[in-house]
Structure 1
Amino acid sequence: MTSDTRRDPYLSALGLTDWQYRAGGPLDTKPAPETDSRPAPPDAGEAAPDGMNWDELEAYLARRDHRGANRPVFGVGARDAQVLIVGEAPGANEDAQGVPFVGRAGKLLDRMLFAIDCSRATNVYITNICKFRPPDNRDPTPDEVAADWPILERQIDLMAPRLVVAVGRVAAQTLLDCQTPLGKLRGRLHRYPRRDLDVLVTYHPAFLLRSPQQKSKAWVDLKMIARHIRNPGR
């Protein structure tokens, strides 16, 4: 059975025919204010994330203030992957399981990745900017972003990915430190601020479930990811 034949059911589930779909803030680096809800600082004498390995970093996150969430959601996938996918924050399913992008949106993301020969099991790592679920699935606050930002930055240091894929408006605007609408950020590569690293912006799979007519645009983004992996020099 060929790779294309094996991929057909996933393409059909995405609304694809012949490899095409059918039509169908930003980081605030200021210190957090002195409030009771502020994320707790590290224990006295505890090292900052800089210099930690993967296991140390995950254990460090587990000791942090959960901010009302059930558990931290550190990340999942191949830690030596070329592609790092970053969402905004865990939802209810992620909070329950401790794994990013599960449930219907996660399954759609997996099918999309499979269509370009990518998988969280082999060559993609998936995480979020915020590592704890915000109450009621609201957008993360600047304080919450700032609290978890050093962990994401250390994950990037350890991975040294070739490409970061920001899924959704909040992730895109936060990673690129801008207020530009997602629709205007799509379709081209951006440079990660203060890093020699490419960023590509696409829709969140949860948005695609609500707006399936946008899947054709997401497929364009997926093909850009595949081309960039194969031809990193652009």
Structure 2
Amino acid sequence: MIPEPAPNVRQLLAFYLEAGVDCALTEEPVDRLAEPDTPAVPAPARETAPPRSAREMPAAMPAVPRSEIVPAPEAAIALAREAARTAPTLEALRTFLENFEGCALRNTATRLVFADGNPQARIMFVGEAPGRDEDIEGLPFVGRSGKLLDRMIAAIGLDRSKAYIANVIPWRPPGNRTPTPQETQICLPFIQRQIQLVNPDVLVTLGNPSTQTLLSTRDGIMKTRGRWFDYDTGTRTIRAMATFHPAYLLRSPSYKRMSWQDLRAIAKALEQAN
């Protein structure tokens, strides 16, 4: 097996930028190499055993900021389901998400990435999670993959004023890592409620994670793309189709032809729904 070549400096810089090395986490810089201000206390000449009562007492735990305390996953999922169920509008759902403390991702993300586009649109696109550019701007699909998505929907006569765009996860995972199953389950009720409130005629899932999460399938994107699914919003059944995520097409441009076939089928479905 031939080992992969080591990345060059340009590739390493691109990786660190994508991971968010230029994004500040606090208002003031922290010098992790600085010596502590408190001088070391010299050790006593002779060690003596502490009293029994002192030995039995647990060591004091450092205080944890309230913003970093999150409920147990089961409680967070239940809270998310109840809040999503009772949100009467998209604006109310967004307001709740901005104050939701059930998902730890909000503590490391720069801002909430709720949605973009027209809430009255007949078509809705859903990806997995925001990336670096989305985290900075607070809008989904604004980086390189977002520009490609704009070109993709423009090819069938649409733009962001005629589509609604969101993600399953509304906060950027640190370093663009894959969201955990628990994080996905906590955020799932919110995107389900978003879909219900937008009530599009066609739902398009972008990539494998959003497809498997929303369409309840374990098949890979190669098997699911181009196929029609029935998605039950709870009030009606709408047509749904999976296709490749724009980020995947940037890495594998040979699949753009297959994605174009999916887009043509989607455009035809929209025409028939008129």
Residue 177 of structure 1 and its aligned partner are, at CA, apart by 1.6
Which residue of the partner structure matches residue 249 of structure 2? 208
Which residue of the partner structure matches residue 48 of structure 1? 83
Find the partner of 1:95 among 135, 140, 152: 135
**What aligned pairs does 1:26-175 form with structure 2 within 5 A after superposition?**
41=76, 48-52=83-87, 53-65=89-101, 66-121=106-161, 123-175=162-214
Q: 1:48-69: CA deviations, max 9, x gaps?
A: 1224212211111111231421
The residue identity in structure 2 corresponding to 1:113 is I
Q: 1:70-94: CA deviations, max 9, x gaps?
A: 1111001100111110000111111
Q: 1:111-158: CA deviations, max 9, x gaps?
A: 11111011112x100000011111221221121112212211221121
Q: 1:41 to 1:179 in 2, by over 3 A?
A: closer
Q: Which structure is richer in relative contact order (CA contacts within 8 A, separation 6 or more)? A: 1
| Cα distance between partner residues in 2 of 1:67 and 1:152 | 20
| Cα distance between partner residues in 1 of 2:142 and 2:256 | 19
Note if contact 1:67-1:132 (Cα within 8 Å) is conserved in structure 2.
Answer: no
Q: 1:155 to 1:184 in 2, by over 3 A?
A: same
Note if contact 2:231-2:239 (Cα within 8 Å) is conserved in structure 1.
Answer: yes
| Cα distance between partner residues in 1 of 2:213 and 2:71 | 21
The residue identity in structure 2 corresponding to 1:89 is A
Note if contact 2:135-2:171 (Cα within 8 Å) is conserved in structure 1.
Answer: yes
Q: CA RMSD in A?
A: 2.2
| Cα distance between partner residues in 2 of 1:130 and 1:82 | 22
Q: State the percentage of identical aligned residues.
A: 41
Question: Gapped runs of 5+ residues in structure 1?
Answer: 1-34
SS of residue matched to 1:136: helix
SS of residue matched to 2:147: helix
Which residue of the partner structure matches residue 216 of structure 2? 177
The residue identity in structure 2 corresponding to 1:206 is A
Residue 194 of structure 1 and its aligned partner are, at CA, apart by 6.5
Which residue of the partner structure matches residue 33 of structure 2? none
Note if contact 2:84-2:189 (Cα within 8 Å) is conserved in structure 1.
Answer: yes
SS of residue matched to 2:100: coil
SS of residue matched to 1:183: helix
| Cα distance between partner residues in 1 of 2:71 and 2:221 | 30
The residue identity in structure 1 corresponding to 2:171 is F
| Cα distance between partner residues in 2 of 1:157 and 1:145 | 18
| Cα distance between partner residues in 2 of 1:137 and 1:77 | 23
Q: Does 1:226 align with 2:262?
A: no
The residue identity in structure 2 corresponding to 1:50 is R
Q: Which TM-score applies when normalising by structure 2?
A: 0.66
Which residue of the partner structure matches residue 186 of structure 1? 225
Moved over 3 A (4+): 35-42
Note if contact 2:225-2:241 (Cα within 8 Å) is conserved in structure 1.
Answer: yes
Note if contact 1:177-1:193 (Cα within 8 Å) is conserved in structure 2.
Answer: no
